[in-house]
């Protein structure tokens, strides 16, 4: 299984911090933000990763990360997203890199206390379809929210005014090679973007989506408030822990 880290976007919710750099290069406690999703993949046994980035600071990722040797990677590849077409649009750029194999996708501003090793093993055994990771949150309306019936995800709604559960779909996804066929068929949402929620709903419609609940804390770092929370959480407990 290969890994894809999505680190594009303009980071407008973090202005003025992002006037001069990509948000994923901002510090979270003692490391650049981008280190955390890469380590999430490494801890799940992934040794080949593609970084999808964009904007005016794309070259800074190469200066910072080089060939990924610091993380023990076999290959760290890079690709560039023109404009802001959404998460699913960014994911499409990884099709040739995936080479018809399974992928684990992590959003570049997602941090976790623990690891996804068990979920990765479960998806390797699952072999086809998709798997998402959920986490109970206080403000689900900020995220994609699953409608659950027993052990089944019936649908996922993006940033709903009236959430059907208290769970958020975290920015960690496992997909088989069919994901690229799905992204090619997507239509832009009302926001003018190709939504990852629509990708997940396509897998739900074909009965091929499984889910697990993530252990330990999880946060994004895409707003001033969540960036502060991420710094505090990492300072208190550390992140990307194999045991906790």
Beta-bridged to residue 92, according to DSSP, are none
**For residue range 19-33, what is the model confidence (pLDDT) as tens digits?**
999 999 999 999 999
**Percent of the chain residues past pLDDT 90, beyond the cut:** 86
**For residue range 114-144, what is the model confidence (pLDDT) as tens digits?**
999 999 999 999 999 999 999 999 999 999 9
**For residue range 72-114, what is the model confidence (pLDDT) as tens digits?**
999 999 999 887 778 888 899 999 999 999 999 999 999 999 9
Report the chain's mean pLDDT, rounded to a whole number: 94
CB 194 within 8 A of CB 88: yes
Provide the whole-model pTM.
0.95
The whole-angstrom separation of Cα 112 and Cα 66 is 24
Phi, psi of 228 (to 5 degrees): -60, -45
CB 199 within 8 A of CB 193: no
């Amino acid at each position: 299984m290969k890994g894809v880290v999505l680190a594009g976007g303009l980071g407008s919710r973090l202005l003025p911090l992002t006037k001069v750099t990509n948000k994923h290069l901002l510090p979270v406690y003692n490391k650049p933000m981008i280190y955390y999703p890469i380590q999430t993949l490494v801890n799940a046994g992934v040794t080949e990763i593609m970084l999808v980035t964009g904007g005016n600071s794309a070259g800074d990722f190469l200066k910072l990360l080089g060939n990924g040797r610091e993380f023990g990677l076999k290959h760290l590849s890079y690709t560039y997203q023109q404009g802001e077409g959404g998460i699913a649009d960014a994911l499409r750029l990884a099709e040739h890199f995936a080479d018809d194999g399974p992928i684990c996708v992590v959003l570049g501003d997602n941090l976790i206390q623990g690891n996804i090793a068990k979920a990765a093993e479960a998806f390797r055994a699952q072999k086809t379809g998709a798997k998402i990771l959920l986490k109970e949150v206080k403000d689900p309306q900020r995220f994609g929210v699953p409608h659950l019936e027993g052990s089944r995800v019936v649908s996922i709604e993006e940033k709903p005014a009236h959430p059907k559960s208290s769970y958020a779909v975290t920015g960690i996804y496992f997909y088989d090679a069919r994901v690229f066929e799905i992204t090619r068929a997507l239509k832009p949402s009302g926001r003018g973007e190709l939504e990852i929620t629509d990708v997940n709903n396509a897998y739900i419609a074909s009965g091929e989506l499984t889910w697990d609940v993530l252990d330990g804390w999880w946060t994004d770092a895409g707003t001033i408030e969540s960036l502060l929370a991420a710094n505090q959480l990492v300072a208190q407990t550390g992140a990307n822990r194999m045991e906790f």
